[in-house]
Amino acid sequence: MYPWFMESVWSIFKQLYEKGFVYRGFKVMPYSMGCCTPLSNFEAGQNYKDVTDPAVWVSFPLLDDPTVKLIAWTTTPWTLPFNLALCLNPNSVYVKILDKMKNEIFIVMEKCLSELYNKPDGYQILESFKGSHLKEMHYVPLFPYFTNVKTAFRVLCDDYVTENNGTGVVHQAPFFGEDDYRVCVANGVISKDTGPVICPIDAQCRFTDEVKDFQGQNVKDAEKLIIKYLKEAKRLVHQSVVRHSYPFCSRSDTPLIYRAVSSWFIRVEDMVDRLLANNSKTYWVPNSIKEKRFANWLRDTHDCAISRYRYWGNPIPLWISDDGHEIVCVGSMEELKQLSGVSVDDIHREIVDEITIPSRLGKGLLRRVPDVFLIVVISTALFDQPPFKNLIVNGIVSGTDGKKLAKKEKNYIDPTIICDKYGTDALRLFLITSPVIHGESLKFDEKGVQNILKDVFLPWYNALCLLIQSCDQLKIDKKINFIYDEKGLYSSMSLNINVMDTWIVSYTQTLIDFVKQEMDAYRLYTVVPRLIKYIDVLTNWVKTILEDCIFSLNVLFYILLTMAKLMAPFTPFLAEYMYQILRKLTSQSTSSSSEQELSVHFQMIPKSDHSLVNKNIERAIVAVQTVIGLGRAVRERKIVPMKYSLPEFVVIHKDLSVLKDIESLEHFIREGLNVRKVTLSQDRELYGVEMRAESNYSTLGKKAGVKIESITQQIREMSNSDIKKLLSNGQDESPLTIIDEVPIESEDVHIVYYIAKQTRFEATAEQEFVVLLDYTADASLNNEGLIHEITSRAKLNPTDDITIYYSVEPQTSEIARIASEQQDEIEAILRKPFVSLSNLMNRDDNNVVISERC
């Protein structure tokens, strides 16, 4: 860290100290045996592993009647030498039993008997009572340590004890467990402020001389000896092993333990209400994290322990006397110089640890506390203001294995390799469209970046190529150099020359408004998918507006220029590349361009022009896109490729105005679906279309529970008239119906449209549209399909000045017949000569541009 930055943190810390927010205490915290330092709960949660640990059942004889023994269970035998109490659930039922094999009397929670006995004939219940019945009873200590603690070795009660594991009797080592500490403080076993701290292990987590039987041994390594000790003392009832998830230090990869450590704290619990009030003043994306996850964290927050005992972090600027009664807080390097007489230009530990400050109270020298602290800025404590106004919450990227990305795990690809292979724009756009932007986790998969290239960048680039090729064709055919004419675009739009031209420009204005609205709200996760969808719309529909006219080229240029500006914040390099190519088609030469025009990143986000918006055409196009999408879905279902024409496509909708919108654009449906005829109708029954209702298990299952099968059967048995009545009920906010006392909403039911009788049609439906596709084909339709297959093989640019020669083997095949009989039609489509190879005289391979065998 830079010294100037560390000094600013010192200044903040001093303000916290002077306001009374800093105090010294101890706290049970995650502790790294390898790094010899406490960690935050966040750090402790970064590296969980599945491990096998010993599990022991240990007896605690009651002091008044040693023949009766409480049985506790633990998976941390190393904490047993520090036992000071036992804890039971006050409201749960406990039983006194006779172990028939051992002929001993035990007390355990009734619901936990199966944990200790495989069969009920292994014990006899003598008495039942609630856990509160045993409260304050004393028991015989497990080890001969800390017996001088007069308030210890008694039974306590707390609701945190559950029936999930063990015996319902939890042993309490208050300085080695958070709940243990809380319960023992609440019941007076130990004191929060006074009394001994029973934590007889050193920084390396080895037992000290207070535990003489295991002195010098690491706590985890000593577990076998502890179990042996218990067995010899006849206190071990049973032992086994358990497989569970356990936290490890992410730096040293050693097991973490919980232990009480001396620490400096910032008071947070006293300001929870103010923290929540300031949190409500902020704007989060997504908002659910602010209202739920973060707000709940604030409500349950505890005083923040800021000490760390190793070299990383910022040294705590506190100098303290040997008796701990005099403390000086330093807020800057200049103040340290004034107090100590030592001039410094760095405040890392190796420098400030050697500096002392003379005592003002005659207590000798004040020395800096050995702690360092992670950077904590509590804006509420200092200024009673939120630390920010707007916040975008990002999630965490993990490896494909779901684990945290780490060099030692080797579970990630070097980002430079990804960027070199796919480009930084592809990686950036992949992450922006991933769950990370919602504040959720992401398992990184290289295929996702690859799909951005294929599904977004390539279609976008192809649209640019289409513009360039069309400009080249215009120059060849009409000797005109295309130059973008913005004024001509606006004046021509008022004439409404072409429906698709009008629609794509209007749709672009709507997109601009949407982008501005969502970017103002920091909702990147809605903006980018909409832009990607726009690229799909662009590449699939803009081809229809190119009719060899300058106006259509103006429209396409305007769309691509707008797209480059909108995408610039998300794909800066590709957007700049597109923009520089488009600049060459403007009237501004490079030499006369203003500085603002030199780069797309100097441009402002486009502003919409509402005079170019035509909602009627947009609505009509949406309807056409919907029915074409449904038609293509039917083609895929029946495995009929788009290259083969089909006889008829029927669109059914109850709203006549919607059908009229579609009728005005009928030719686009014929072209988009490659069908001969489009029929529009309001009558489903005319075509024998029937309905069937099915349950949506994903939503209904949550509400119905065990009734799901009965409700599903009743929904499945609904007739056409029942379904019509059901749908008519869905016009208001009330449920569609109620079945078995469960309200059925529209999202709980799927309506399936089908044709009961065998016909030439296949049906599907969506958004009140029902479409029927005649998937039968005659010879003429098959011929059109073969013509399409031949022409698509040529792969020509419009400007290619070549002759195409073909040869088909065998010459008796269908495709050979089509190539010969339909030569004129093929040449009209290709706009190039299409000649049999047998007519080629004096073949010179040097003149062959490309040759392909299919």
- 672 with 695, same domain? no
- 729 with 743, same domain? yes
HEC sequence for 605-634:
CCCCCHHHCCHHHHHHHHHHHHHHHHHHHH
User: Looking at residues 156-166, what average pLDDT do you find?
Assistant: 90
- Residue 375: pLDDT band with limits 50, 70, 90: very low
Highest mean pLDDT among 210-219, 285-294, 317-326: 210-219
- 207 with 270, same domain? no
Show the tokens assigned to 774. 């005649």
HEC sequence for 64-104:
CCCCEEEEEEECCHHHHHHCCEEEECCCCEEEEEEECCCCE
Write down the pTM of the prediction: 0.65
User: Looking at residues 155-167, what average pLDDT do you find?
Assistant: 91
- pLDDT at 196 > cutoff 60: yes
Q: For residue 220, what pLDDT is reported?
A: 93
Which three-class secondary structure state does DSSP give residue 710? Answer: helix
- pLDDT at 380 > cutoff 80: no
User: Looking at residues 10-28, what average pLDDT do you find?
Assistant: 86
- pLDDT at 443 > cutoff 60: yes
- 59 with 163, same domain? yes
- Residue 761: pLDDT band with limits 50, 70, 90: confident
- pLDDT at 168 > cutoff 90: yes
- 380 with 526, same domain? no
User: Which helix (H) or strand (E) segment is 116 a member of?
Assistant: helix 113-116
**Residue 688 to residue 655: CA distance in whole angstroms:** 19
Of residues 132 and 389, the one with the higher pLDDT is: 132
**Residue 617 to residue 471: CA distance in whole angstroms:** 27
Q: For residue 173, what pLDDT is reported?
A: 95
- 681 with 696, same domain? no
Question: Is 467 domain-assigned?
Answer: yes
Q: For residue 495, what pLDDT is reported?
A: 65
DSSP 563-618: HHHHHTTTSHHHHHHHHHHHHTTSS--TTT--GGGG-GGGSPPPPP-GGG--HHHH
- Per-residue pLDDT tens over the stretch 571-594: 999 999 999 999 999 876 545 567
- 187 with 296, same domain? no
> Amino acid identity, residue 418?
I
- pLDDT at 732 > cutoff 70: no
User: Looking at residues 226-243, what average pLDDT do you find?
Assistant: 94
- pLDDT at 854 > cutoff 90: no
User: Looking at residues 761-781, what average pLDDT do you find?
Assistant: 82
> Amino acid identity, residue 676?
R
Q: For residue 659, what pLDDT is reported?
A: 94
- Residue 706: pLDDT band with limits 50, 70, 90: confident
- 634 with 605, same domain? no
Contact 791, 830 (CB under 8 A): yes
In the chain, what's the furthest Cα-to-Cα distance? 118
User: Looking at residues 492-509, what average pLDDT do you find?
Assistant: 79
- 242 with 340, same domain? no
∠ Cα 542 546 548 (to 5°): 170
Domain of residue 711, residue span: 689-756
- Residue 843: pLDDT band with limits 50, 70, 90: low
Highest mean pLDDT among 209-223, 781-795, 809-823: 209-223
Question: Is 433 domain-assigned?
Answer: no
**Residue 302 to residue 267: CA distance in whole angstroms:** 8
Question: Is 395 domain-assigned?
Answer: no
DSSP 236-263: EEEEEEEEEEEEB-TTT--BEEEEEEEE
Q: For residue 540, what pLDDT is reported?
A: 66
Question: Which residues, 6 or more positions from 809, have their beta carbon under 8 angstroms from its beta carbon?
Answer: 816
Q: For residue 374, what pLDDT is reported?
A: 45
HEC sequence for 121-175:
HHEEEEEEEEHHHHCCCEECCCCCCCCCCCCCCEEEECCCCCCCCCCCEEEECHH
- Per-residue pLDDT tens over the stretch 269-302: 888 888 888 888 889 888 888 888 888 878 887 7
Question: Is 369 domain-assigned?
Answer: yes
Question: Is 208 domain-assigned?
Answer: yes
Contact 136, 155 (CB under 8 A): yes
Pick from 578, 613, 648: which residue ends a domain? 613
Strand pairing category for 123-130 and 372-373: unpaired
- pLDDT at 80 > cutoff 50: yes
Contact 566, 512 (CB under 8 A): yes
Contact 817, 811 (CB under 8 A): no
**Residue 525 to residue 435: CA distance in whole angstroms:** 9
Q: For residue 309, what pLDDT is reported?
A: 61
With 0-12 / 13-18 / 19 or more C-beta atoms within 10 angstroms meaning exposed / middle / buried, residue 209 is exposed
**Torsion over CA of 689, 695, 696 and 702, rounded to 10 degrees?**
160
What average pLDDT is seen over the chain?
Answer: 85
Which residues face 392 on adjacent strands? 285
> Amino acid identity, residue 808?
V
Which residues face 107 on adjacent strands? 70, 96
Show the tokens assigned to 681. 């109708």
User: Looking at residues 559-564, what average pLDDT do you find?
Assistant: 93
**Residue 379 to residue 362: CA distance in whole angstroms:** 36
Pick from 337, 371, 390: which residue ends a domain? 390
- 18 with 90, same domain? no
Which residues face 56 on adjacent strands? 74, 239
Closest Cα partner for 557 from 652, 473, 634, 483? 483
Question: Is 164 domain-assigned?
Answer: yes
- pLDDT at 185 > cutoff 60: yes
Contact 29, 36 (CB under 8 A): no
> Amino acid identity, residue 470?
S
Other CB atoms within 10 A of residue 668 CB: 20
Highest mean pLDDT among 57-66, 265-274, 661-670, 706-715: 57-66
CA Rg, the chain, in Å?
A: 39
With 0-12 / 13-18 / 19 or more C-beta atoms within 10 angstroms meaning exposed / middle / buried, residue 401 is exposed
DSSP 525-572: HHHHHHHHHHHHHHHHHGGGG-SS-HHHHHHHHHHHHHHHHHHTTTSH
Q: The sheet that has 37-38: what strands, in order across it?
A: 37-38, 22-32, 256-266, 304-305
- 574 with 503, same domain? yes
Contact 670, 699 (CB under 8 A): no
Pick from 561, 588, 613: which residue ends a domain? 613
Q: What is the CATH number of the domain that holds 79?
A: 3.90.740.10
Question: Is 422 domain-assigned?
Answer: no
DSSP 759-798: -SEEEEEETTEEEEEE----HHHHHHHHHHHHHHHH---T
Q: Which residue has the tokens 């150099």?
A: 481
Total domains in the chain come to 6
Question: Which residues, 6 or more positions from 89, have their beta carbon under 8 angstroms from its beta carbon?
Answer: 109, 131, 157, 158, 159, 161, 162, 163, 168
Please tell me what DSSP assigns to residue 219: T
Question: Is 191 domain-assigned?
Answer: yes
User: Which helix (H) or strand (E) segment is 329 a member of?
Assistant: strand 327-329
User: Looking at residues 736-763, what average pLDDT do you find?
Assistant: 81
User: Which helix (H) or strand (E) segment is 442 a member of?
Assistant: strand 442-443
Contact 560, 467 (CB under 8 A): yes
Q: For residue 451, what pLDDT is reported?
A: 92
- pLDDT at 734 > cutoff 70: no
Q: What is the CATH number of the domain that holds 566?
A: 1.10.730.10
Contact 60, 70 (CB under 8 A): yes
- 14 with 52, same domain? no
Question: Which residues, 6 or more positions from 244, have their beta carbon under 8 angstroms from its beta carbon?
Answer: 50, 51, 53, 75
Closest Cα partner for 728 from 758, 703, 751? 751
